[in-house]
């Protein structure tokens, strides 16, 4: 009985730790995905601030203003979740895309994102603000000062407003292993992203204090909390689980173990009773045989009360075929063949073939190590830009990639490829003279066999190469 209780206690402790580990893994995944999503836009803002400081003037001239607006429009088009781009200077003048008439009551210099960027120009800042022109009470604002690279003068602040709904969707679509609440807050205890349930402001302050003190998972007010940092550790993704819910899950798992222990105890008692009865009968027969002076062989045969049957379990070795490219982290050619065969029957699926321009010259000029860096960088940018869309990237072979778009319109597929192409074009490498671009061909699937679809995509890719490279051709 004592052994059974100790076993139950051990299993309970292990089950609690397993569920906590699952919740920690869940919050790690959510935080990583959300951080990569916001980091992609942070890199875009940094690149925009750099280009704005190098290529644009902020002297109030109408021609300069027109050039700035056109440039901001181009950047806004390649960021699907961006609501607006704003440039504000120290004199209160601002330029906003989409264009709005200047409101005398709105002073960008009093906005938190403007103040933070002016006071600290070393990094991009994440704040939650209000966009009065888009009728949005809460938007995520990424801001960065525009610093002239020649004389170091401050030329205002560049701000990007992101739709809060996209970040909320990431939290809502994540599947938690336990019934729980997941939200984003600042380290000071201010709520940032709330998927839709009320949270007491005093509770947020207490959570911020606990996070500073424990620096790890903790329990507060009968709730288990796991959290991770995002946006350069200025925000916290907080995962809240009621301890009663956690205990219910552990109990449901351990109740089977408890019933098993009880059943084992009953069976052990029954076996002890049956063995004792059988042995008593055997000893009585032996004693009777000795008393009568004869021991019959049949008395020994009765010592075997049951037959023991041994069963052997066969172990099956499952050969795991590698489906991931070791260099880029993308799926490999074997995975593409399997996935593309399934998608080819869907007329709403599209196939793109992408090839890095002049890749042989890159290897010949800077070496294969730099060529590998280029491959990994292009793959990473493609993965980062795909967001939550049903887009799958593959390394088809060498410097060639394949992309499957499932349930996505041709316009969205082209938009994604263009964003990817522009991002690769503007990527800076350690080698100052290294410029990377790619060409792509896009075709609709489901109109013939898979080899025909691949041939069409390759044909459009060849056309893009032949007509100047660094472009996307589609039909």
Helix (H, G, I), strand (E, B) or coil at 459: helix
Q: State the DSSP code for 315.
A: P
Please say whether the beta carbons of 370 and 378 come within 8 A. Answer: no
Short-list 172, 168, 95, CA closest to 138: 168
Q: Which residues, at least 6 apart from 179, have a Cβ–Cβ distance to it below 8 Å? A: 241, 242, 245
Q: Which has the closest alpha carbon to 353: 246, 462, 248, 219?
A: 462
Annotated active-site residue 399? The verdict is yes
The Cα–Cα gap between 450 and 65 comes to 50
Query: Does residue 447 have a cis peptide bond before it, meaning omega lies within 30 degrees of 0?
Result: no
DSSP 98-157: S--PPPTT--GGGSHHHHHHHH--SS-EEEEEEETTTTEEEEEEEEEEEE-TTT--EEEE
Return left, alpha or beta for 156; rule: phi > 0 is left, psi -120 to 50 is alpha, else beta.
Answer: left
The residue whose two tokens read 């288990």 is: 224
CA angle in degrees (0–180, nearest 5) for 309-314-320: 165
The Cα–Cα gap between 25 and 226 comes to: 10
Catalytic residue among 233, 380, 399, 452: 399
- Helix then strand then coil, in percent of the chain rounded to 5, is 50, 20, 30
Cα four-point dihedral sign 402, 407, 409, 410: positive
Contacts of 250 (CB under 8 A, 6+ apart): 12, 15, 16, 19
Looking at residue 328, the DSSP 8-state letter turns out to be: T
Of 75, 46, 82, the C-alpha closest to 162 is: 82
The tokens describing 272, both together, are 């002890």
Annotated catalytic residues are: 399
């Amino acid at each position: 009985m004592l052994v059974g209780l100790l076993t139950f206690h051990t299993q309970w402790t292990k089950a609690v730790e397993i569920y906590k580990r699952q919740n920690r893994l869940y919050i790690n995944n959510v935080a990583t995905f959300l951080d990569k999503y916001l980091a992609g836009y942070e890199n875009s803002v940094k690149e925009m601030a750099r280009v704005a400081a190098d290529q644009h003037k902020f002297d109030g001239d109408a021609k300069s203003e027109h050039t700035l607006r056109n440039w901001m429009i181009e950047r806004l088009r390649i960021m699907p979740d961006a609501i607006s781009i704003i440039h504000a200077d120290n004199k209160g003048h601002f330029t906003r895309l989409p264009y709005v008439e200047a409101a005398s009551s709105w002073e960008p210099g009093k906005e938190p994102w403007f103040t933070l960027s002016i006071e600290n120009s070393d990094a991009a800042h994440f704040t939650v603000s209000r966009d009065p022109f888009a009728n949005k009470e809460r938007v995520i604002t990424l801001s960065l000062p525009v610093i002239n690279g020649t004389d170091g003068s401050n030329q205002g602040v560049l701000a990007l407003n992101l739709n809060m709904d996209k970040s909320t969707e990431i939290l809502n679509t994540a599947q938690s292993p336990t019934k729980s609440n997941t939200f984003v807050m600042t380290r000071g205890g201010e709520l940032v992203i709330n998927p839709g349930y009320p949270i007491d402001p005093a509770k947020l302050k207490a959570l911020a204090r606990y996070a500073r003190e424990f620096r790890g998972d903790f329990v507060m007010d009968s709730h288990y909390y796991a959290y991770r940092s995002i946006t350069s550790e200025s925000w916290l993704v907080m995962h809240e689980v009621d301890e009663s819910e956690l205990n219910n899950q552990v109990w449901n798992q351990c109740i089977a173990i408890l019933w098993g222990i009880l059943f084992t105890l009953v069976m052990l008692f029954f076996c002890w009773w049956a063995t004792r009865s059988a042995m008593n009968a055997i000893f009585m027969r032996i004693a009777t045989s000795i008393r009568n002076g004869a021991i019959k062989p049949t008395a020994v045969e009765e010592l075997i009360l049951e037959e023991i049957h041994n069963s052997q379990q066969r172990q099956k070795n499952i050969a795991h075929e590698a489906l991931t490219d070791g260099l880029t982290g993308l799926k490999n050619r074997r995975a593409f063949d399997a996935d593309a065969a399934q998608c080819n029957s869907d007329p709403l699926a599209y196939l793109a073939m992408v090839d890095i321009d002049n890749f042989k010259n890159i290897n010949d000029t800077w070496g294969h190590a730099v060529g590998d860096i280029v491959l990994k960088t292009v793959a990473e940018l493609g993965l980062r830009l795909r967001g939550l869309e049903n887009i799958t990237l593959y390394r088809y072979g060498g410097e060639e990639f394949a992309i499957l778009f499932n349930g996505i319109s041709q316009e969205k597929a082209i938009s994604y490829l263009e964003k990817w192409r522009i991002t690769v074009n503007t990527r800076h490498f350690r080698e100052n003279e290294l410029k990377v671009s790619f060409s792509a061909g896009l075709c609709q699937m489901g109109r013939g066999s898979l080899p025909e679809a691949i041939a069409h995509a390759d044909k459009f890719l060849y056309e893009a190469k032949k007509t100047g490279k660094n472009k996307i051709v589609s039909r």
